[in-house]
Amino acid sequence: MSTTCKPTPPTEFTNVLVTAIPEKDSVTGKTKYKTTFSPESITITTNDAVINYQLVEPTPKDVKFKKMTVKPEDNDQLSVPSISKSGKIITFSDANTTKETLAISLKFSDSAGTEFVVDPDVNNDPEPQ
């Protein structure tokens, strides 16, 4: 008698393209960044997914990821992020075992020392077990 094993599906990769375009604030004259994400929001539906945020053109070459934080901080869903040597990609894994929305904060910097934070969400919607 043989038993049939359910094959493990391949890891799902979710890639988010990020642009950060500098603009002068009309009031302060300081540089601020208009940031866009494609796709605008993400919903993870498989367990143990990998999420990549990547800075792409027309983002200036000197803009880089500096840090990522997550709320709630004590979640058991997202791994510690890894920032590429170039600073253009930030990668982390998502256990996706609990239906919830995780607020991540992506901190960026440029060569002039300008720092800015953008707060996209990661929506976890695991398949029923």
Residue 97, both tokens: 């075992």
Domains and CATH numbers, the chain: 13-124 (2.60.40.420)
pLDDT tens for 61-89 read 999 999 999 988 889 999 999 999 999 99
pLDDT tens for 13-41 read 999 999 999 999 999 999 999 999 999 99
- pTM recorded for the entire structure: 0.89
Q: DSSP state, 81?
A: P
Distance of CA 124 to the CA centre of its chain: 13
Residue holding tokens 């999420």?
51
Question: In the β-sheet with 31-38, what is the strand arrangement from edge to edge?
Answer: 31-38, 13-24, 49-55, 89-94, 82-83
